[in-house]
Amino acid sequence: MTARTSEELMKKEQRYGARNYNPLEVVISKAEGIWVEDPEGRRYMDMLSAYSAMSHGHRHPKIIKALKEQADVLTLTSRAFFNDQWPTFAEKLSKLTGKDMILPMNTGAEAVETALKAIRKWAYTVKGIEKDKAEIIVFAENFHGRTISIISFSTDPVAKDNYGPFTPGFVVVPYDDLAAVEKAVNKNTAGILVEPIQGEAGVNVPSDGFLKGLEAIARKNNVLLALDEIQTGFCRTGKTFCFEHEGINPDLIIMGKALGGGILPVSAVAADKEVMGVFQPGSHGSTFGGNPLACAVASAAIDVLIEENMSERAAELGAYFMEGLKKLNSPLIKLVRGKGLLIGVEMTEAAGKARKYTTSLKEKGLLCKETHETIIRFAPPLVITKEEIDDALAIIKEVFV
């Protein structure tokens, strides 16, 4: 039987789908811009944006056009051959990042794995670290994806428990603590992997100067600095990349999510020749990485960010939204923090679990998601307008009084 109503569809998913998510009770069957709709025709404002992958808004016309046009000519070649889309996309992303070379993958986790591999290979072939001794410094409460190696250095028991044995070679230090990083560096340190803002941890914004300090430690000790910009990149925080707020020049830039324009999984790592040059034919790869369909979509996604001044929009509207949230003076809100349109609202202890509030917001037509039970993340598509933010604030006010 074909399920049609939200009720039926949710029941079917619960029956046949693995339970590795706990979604809000809303079924989305249609979307445009910042709006999504369920099978019953109820409309909701999307304030999660698929964890920042939907920065361009749902079905951005220019990106959909690129998708359709490319689908009519060529979709997949594998990297056994050249194709006519990857070179242009690589050039575009190289110019955007200011890095010599790009390695394309699909999901964010794959791009993180790629960066870890590059760091290790560089450690042995360039820096001269003893075989199998390379260490990479990472941070408590990190989120870099779901592979076994990546969760090996997670500090979240929910993400990690019962998946061992784990990949060695990672040293976890507290976030936003330069002294701890300095202490952890030794002759076997190959790299530092960091999120410029910890999104999944609850929009943890580090102190000013943290990234600059990491860069200084990396330079002083001949260690590579890798920035995971999968959630923060592509204008989300008010700059093309979040690290630009501190004017640093990381060795590796890891990208994903919004790079796919909200349509396809597209991820990539950007680095200069001295680092990316460690990869030889056969030493790393992906069947779908760099496929022409994804490259055409991602190229259009980058063009749209630039043409529509998404950085300025995110900076301006983010400040406006955050100010509005603070002005609610809600007794349930402990703290509002963030950068650009990546905003976290930490609830007070008295408020109880955040899920209660995300459910009420959904009932009133606003979709967002709690993270770690006490924090609500607001990260709307960057195409949102000031008037729509006012509408959102009015709904939030009703729920948070």
Ligand X SMILES: *Cc1c(COP(=O)(O)O)cnc(C)c1O
Whichever of 290 and 324 has its CB closer to ligand X, that residue is: 290
Residues 142 and 200: their CA atoms lie apart, in Å, by: 8
Residue 76 corresponds to which amino acid?
Answer: L
Residues 163 and 180: their CA atoms lie apart, in Å, by: 27
Residues in the chain: 401
Interaction between residue 109 and ligand X (CB under 6 A):
yes
The count of chain residues that interact with ligand X, using the rule CB under 6 A, is: 16
From the list 106-114, 181-189, 270-278, 369-377, the region that binds ligand X by CB under 6 A is 106-114
Residues 49 and 58: their CA atoms lie apart, in Å, by: 8
Whichever of 108 and 318 has its CB closer to ligand X, that residue is: 108
For the window 131-170, what string marks contact with ligand X as x by the rule CB under 6 A?
A: ------------xxx-------------------------
Q: Is 356 a catalytic residue?
A: no
In b/e form, how buried is each residue of 316-338, taking b as 16+ CB within 10 angstroms? ebbeebbebbeebebebbeebbb
Taking CB under 6 A as the criterion, the residue among 113, 176, 215, 228 binding ligand X is 228
- Residue 195: is it exposed, middle or buried by C-beta count within 10 angstroms (0-12/13-18/19+)? buried
The CA-based diameter of the chain, rounded to the nearest angstrom, is 64
**Least distance from ligand X to the Cβ atom of residue 230, Å:** 4
- DSSP summary character for residue 333: E
From the list 30-38, 168-176, 223-231, 309-317, the region that binds ligand X by CB under 6 A is 223-231
For the window 37-76, what string marks contact with ligand X as x by the rule CB under 6 A?
A: --------------x-------------------------
Taking CB under 6 A as the criterion, the residue among 47, 123, 173, 230 binding ligand X is 230
Taking CB under 6 A as the criterion, the residue among 104, 191, 196, 199 binding ligand X is 199
Taking CB under 6 A as the criterion, the residue among 46, 195, 215, 251 binding ligand X is 195
Residue 239 corresponds to which amino acid?
Answer: K
Whichever of 376 and 393 has its CB closer to ligand X, that residue is: 376
**Least distance from ligand X to the Cβ atom of residue 257, Å:** 6
How many other CB atoms are there within 10 angstroms of residue 130's CB atom? Answer: 10
Residue whose token pair is 């070679």: 169
From the list 185-193, 224-232, 235-243, 369-377, the region that binds ligand X by CB under 6 A is 224-232
Residues 20 and 102: their CA atoms lie apart, in Å, by: 32
Residue 267 corresponds to which amino acid?
Answer: S
Whichever of 108 and 381 has its CB closer to ligand X, that residue is: 108
Whichever of 189 and 267 has its CB closer to ligand X, that residue is: 267
Who contacts 54 (Cβ-Cβ below 8 Å, separation ≥6)? Answer: 46, 48, 258, 262, 381
**Least distance from ligand X to the Cβ atom of residue 260, Å:** 9
The packing angle between helices 292-307 and 86-97, to 10°, is 40
Whichever of 176 and 195 has its CB closer to ligand X, that residue is: 195
Is the separation of the CB atoms in 377 and 199 below 8 Å? yes
Residues 266 and 291: their CA atoms lie apart, in Å, by: 9
Ranked by CB distance to ligand X, the top (closest) residue is 108
Q: Hey, which residues between 248 and 267 contact ligand X (CB under 6 A)?
A: 256-257
Whichever of 55 and 330 has its CB closer to ligand X, that residue is: 55
Of 257, 339, 362, 369, which one is the catalytic site residue? 257
Is the separation of the CB atoms in 367 and 58 below 8 Å? no
Catalytically active residues are: 143, 228, 257
Residues that bind ligand X (CB under 6 A): 51, 107-109, 112, 143-145, 195, 199-200, 228, 230-231, 256-257
